[in-house]
Amino acid sequence: MHHVASSHFAAVGGLRIHYRSWGNRRALPLLLLHDLGETADQWLPLAAVLGAEFRVVAPDLRGHGDSDWIDTYSPQEIGDDAGELAGVLGLIPAAVAGIGLGGLAAALLAARQGYLVERLCLLGAGVHANLPPERAAEQALYAELPPDAPSPQAWVTAWHNARVRAGLRHDATAATHADPWRMVRRLTSGRVAPAWDRAGYQLYRAWSPGAHAVSYAEEFHEIDVPVTLIYGAHDPVLPGEAVAATTATIKDCRAVRIAGARHDLLHDRPAAVAAAMLPFLRNAH
């Protein structure tokens, strides 16, 4: 089956990076970068449709899932990790898609190492990072999230409920996960904690320029590949003016609005996201 995801590890920039792969190995490579606090499994709602047409590789970003934790988490470094992984696996050039933090990392990869990227699909990520609505949503999420939970499914439920209350996703779909253990790590107490370096990412945001709104206009202007920006009509962290600023900054960028979706597009409207992504990705040379 094209969409059964296998697990692998690669040495990337001194880190052990875990990645999922599936699909048609003879097809165009497609590199998928997940959002903050998620894992490669965030893309599984699109696994079947993407795997039917592409060779898909989806890493756990540094500090997430089964990839190594470290002490610095800039989107530039995350993009560099993805670029090095593409080189290690022979995925050059690849179509690249990223959501949220993964989208920003993907855009910076395209800006800095454009020869690696065939075309770029951004989901819920724009030229301005850490705008006040994004900070407010992130603070609301952190305030809602418990530090640990009694079981993997309990954590998945807590993650879902916190994101709903923070306005990042609709509550239409139940809190399920193909493998809840991928979202957590076991503590010595027998309880589980999230499988991402929450404290490390919060610390990075506190001391980096990300503590304030940051414009990546200079970098986004360097992107020379076709770009599609897919955004939720009700995404609190990517308001309409941020969408307009992004499409105006990138040379070749069109925007697709997904009705009935918030920031968590892959949760809220996976079929609509696939319908927006596939025609664009098929046009790759």
Backbone conformation region of residue 23, classed left if phi is above 0, alpha if psi is from -120 to 50, else beta: left
**CA separation, residue 118 to residues 100, 106, 145 (Å):** 20, 12, 38
In the chain, the percentage of residues whose pLDDT exceeds 90 is 84
Domain 6-131+215-282 sits in CATH 3.40.50.1820: yes
* pLDDT for the residue numbered 210: 65
Task: Say if residue 92's pLDDT is above 80.
Answer: yes
The domain spans of the chain are 6-131+215-282
Q: Which helix (H) or strand (E) holds 55?
A: strand 55-59
Task: Say if residue 270's pLDDT is above 90.
Answer: yes
Task: Say if residue 284's pLDDT is above 70.
Answer: no
3-state secondary structure (DSSP) of residue 238: coil
* pLDDT for the residue numbered 228: 98
ω into 93 cis (within 30 of 0)? yes
In the chain, the percentage of residues whose pLDDT exceeds 70 is 98
Report pLDDT digits (tens) over 132-170: 888 899 999 999 999 999 999 999 999 999 999 999 999
**pLDDT-based confidence at 105, cuts 50/70/90?**
very high
Q: Which helix (H) or strand (E) holds 58?
A: strand 55-59
Question: pTM of the full predicted structure?
Answer: 0.97
